[in-house]
Structure 1
Amino acid sequence: MRTLRLLVASLLLVPLAACGAEDDAGGKTVTFGYTADFAGAATLAAADKLGLWKKAGLKPELKVFTNGPLQIQALGAGSLDFGYIGPGATWLPASGKAKIIAVNMLGQADRIIAAPKSGITDLAGLRGKKIAVPEGTSGDMLLQLALKKAGLTAKDVQRVPMDPSTVVTAFASGQVDAAAIWYPLIDTIKKRTPDLVELSKNADFFPAMSFPSSFVARNEAVKDDPATVSKVIKVLQQAGDWVNGHTAEAETTAAAFLKVPPAQLKGSSAVTKTFTSAELIELSGDGTVNGWFKGLSDIFVAMGKLPSSPDPATYYLSNLYTNAGSK
């Protein structure tokens, strides 16, 4: 046992390469995290389908995670080079835990929904009601915006934090009056509660407020191996361009990548907004993307996730993204 402990300890002391090492075929290995849904997997599925990694001289080791914060932890531990986060986890790179290297999509899947028996017909009706919400997610962020729009605060409602799958069960069984949740989970809820009421959605606050998902890199990778980071960005740009132009096919491609029935992701692209890399370069240059991240940071301050709202230029590498697109 003592020998095993010494071996493990010695392995932990071995320094990690910036983004992996060259393999025998000359491709540099990069570890990349993702989540098993359309937004989290579509771009990586396209890169795999189109053979973009090999063209870039890279060899990806893809690892699935249940959420973005876990990937940020893995980045910090050095066991992951790159990852994917939804808007709800953007406070982590904003607090210095990682760098955002590319915008993925704008999420439009979040909803505030009310149970038909609750009697709630508008946002003002949420006062005093029990609301299920996965804490720190994009659904939680939408709830913050919706309450403010209705002239309410978190103290005016009964927030019930729970994980997404539990929200589905609690809402469908009538344990809560309302929920801040997203598609496709709402599709599951509708099978048991088809007459639920949708009170608010992301689009109600667009374009003043947007919900971008992003690709992130660990700080050391950006500092020590920017050339590889640029290659990864280029792969993401090319894959994202394909997804933007083939949204229906991207759903089936992502389903095959995730090894799930195509029906499970059908319609997913309808609740996201995709962009070409040229559009994202333009939006990065004119300050629009920084505005998206600033809006998120302001909400995180209100939620107590951040002490202050930092300049997005400190964590979104727009110049690196733009320069990768010109190569």
Structure 2
Amino acid sequence: MPISRPLLLAGLPVAAASLLAASLLAPSPAGAAERSVRIGYQKYGNFLLLKQHGGLDARLKPLGFTAAWAEFPSGPPILEAVRAGAIDVGQTGDAPPIFAQAGRTDLVYVAAEPPAPAGEAILVPKDSAIASLAGLKGKRVALNKGSNVHFLLVKALEKAGIAYGDITPVFLAPADARAAFERGAVDAWAIWDPYLAAAQAATGARTLATGEGLVGNIQFYLAAAGFAKAEPNVVAAIVDAVRDVDDWEAAHPDEAAAELAEAVRLPKSVVAVALARQAHGVAPLTPEVTAGQQAEADAFLQLRLIPKPLDVGAAVWKPGT
């Protein structure tokens, strides 16, 4: 059986995945009637629904474009692929764009979803002796480096009065982190939905903290800055299509849960829990959202997790400029 493109990409290191995405999603040959806008997505969320519903090409066709999709396991490799020129548009949580911008990725924020703080959490095994965030001191915590839960961990430790250096972060992708969590190789796990809902259902894990009262957990839609400048109508069409599918999901949660459950190979009941913690309303970034991203970037700088100060506002898309 041939290996699918998504499986190929999901199983490779970041740099290799970016190079493979570039070869799989090469632009149409010169003289072709249509060009491809290359979109990086994860196996969950609005981009997955948009891909499955197939409505994007109808919006892109009058602009001379079609959509070419590439699946990635998380946000950081999506933005690494943007940096490498392998994709044009992607969706990630709040932390990956900060690390990417610090790494000189030329990107712009084009839209955001409302905060969904209950959609990420720090878990401990059901029989763990850790009873509160304070109990994380000296412990090993699994997380996906540079992902949305990285900031959750930072703020949770701050709330508990624990220095970031007083825990041992263990950087693992979600599947590897769950395996480490279940065999006791780590003491806690910071993770997002639907992996969060799946772990809660399957392992009975206890929740030390969600993002509520700590972080926003916002999903962002981003584009390569050069592409957004050259093709603003294409970017706007993608945002409009995402808004439509987000509205559909909000109005049809049961159908959306069934559709996503089949794609991610999780029980519908698990996906329904994750969707209930999701917010709806895709829109341009507000000053408040931009300020929140700036505060997150400043916090990462203070901890020396990024090497230089960032101006998040300078990376917010301003069509026509």
TM class by shorter chain equals 0.7 to 0.9
For the pair 1:273 / 2:283, whether they are aligned, the reply is no
For the pair 1:315 / 2:315, whether they are aligned, the reply is yes
- Match of 2:80? 73
1:74-126 residue CA offsets vs partner (Å, 9 max, x unmatched): 22333322112222312145335111111145343221122344311111122
- Match of 2:237? 231
Q: Kindly tell me: are residues 113 and 71 of structure 1, through their superposed partners in 2, closer, same or farther at Cα, counting changes over 3 Å? A: closer
Q: Secondary structure at the match of 1:112?
A: strand
- Cα shift at 1:252: 3.0
- Cα shift at 1:251: 2.8
1:188 and 1:246 map into 2 onto residues whose CA distance is 21
Between 258-267 and 98-107, the greater mean CA deviation after superposition: 258-267
1:256-295 residue CA offsets vs partner (Å, 9 max, x unmatched): 6x374662633321222121x4xx35xx45x122123223
- Match of 1:64? 71
- Match of 2:218? 212
- Match of 1:53? 57
1:106-160 residue CA offsets vs partner (Å, 9 max, x unmatched): 3432211223443111111222223223222222221111100011112222333
CA root-mean-square deviation: 3.0
Q: Kindly tell me: are residues 83 and 193 of structure 1, through their superposed partners in 2, closer, same or farther at Cα, counting changes over 3 Å? A: closer
1:130 and 1:232 map into 2 onto residues whose CA distance is 40
Between 153-162 and 30-39, the greater mean CA deviation after superposition: 153-162
Q: Aligned to 1:36, which of 43, 65, 88?
A: 43
1:20 and 1:306 map into 2 onto residues whose CA distance is 39
For the pair 1:88 / 2:92, whether they are aligned, the reply is no
Letter in 1 for 2:170: V
1:244 and 1:110 map into 2 onto residues whose CA distance is 19
Q: Is the 8 A contact 2:95 2:151 kept in 1?
A: yes
1:195-230 residue CA offsets vs partner (Å, 9 max, x unmatched): x3211101132xxx3121111111221222223222
Q: Kindly tell me: are residues 136 and 61 of structure 1, through their superposed partners in 2, closer, same or farther at Cα, counting changes over 3 Å? A: same
Which runs of 5 or more structure 2 residues have no equivalent in the other structure?
1-21
1:241 and 1:265 map into 2 onto residues whose CA distance is 18
Letter in 1 for 2:39: F
Q: Kindly tell me: are residues 310 and 166 of structure 1, through their superposed partners in 2, closer, same or farther at Cα, counting changes over 3 Å? A: same
Q: Is the 8 A contact 1:127 1:156 kept in 2?
A: yes
Q: Is the 8 A contact 2:142 2:170 kept in 1?
A: yes
Q: Aligned to 1:221, which of 211, 224, 227?
A: 227
TM-score by length of 1: 0.76
1:40 and 1:302 map into 2 onto residues whose CA distance is 33
- Match of 1:111? 121
1:203 and 1:123 map into 2 onto residues whose CA distance is 14
Q: Secondary structure at the match of 2:86?
A: coil
2:297 and 2:192 map into 1 onto residues whose CA distance is 21
- Cα shift at 1:241: 2.8
Which runs of 5 or more structure 1 residues have no equivalent in the other structure?
1-11
Q: Secondary structure at the match of 1:59?
A: strand
Q: Kindly tell me: are residues 89 and 303 of structure 1, through their superposed partners in 2, closer, same or farther at Cα, counting changes over 3 Å? A: farther
Q: Is the 8 A contact 2:93 2:218 kept in 1?
A: yes
TM-score by length of 2: 0.77
- Cα shift at 1:303: 4.5
Q: Secondary structure at the match of 2:244?
A: helix
Q: Secondary structure at the match of 1:60?
A: strand
Structure showing greater radius of gyration is: 1
1:41-74 residue CA offsets vs partner (Å, 9 max, x unmatched): 234445x2xx343144242111111222222232
1:187 and 1:229 map into 2 onto residues whose CA distance is 32
Letter in 2 for 1:232: I
1:244 and 1:293 map into 2 onto residues whose CA distance is 25
- Match of 1:167? 177
For the pair 1:102 / 2:114, whether they are aligned, the reply is no
Q: Kindly tell me: are residues 305 and 62 of structure 1, through their superposed partners in 2, closer, same or farther at Cα, counting changes over 3 Å? A: same
Q: Secondary structure at the match of 2:310?
A: coil
2:93 and 2:87 map into 1 onto residues whose CA distance is 17
1:67 and 1:34 map into 2 onto residues whose CA distance is 8
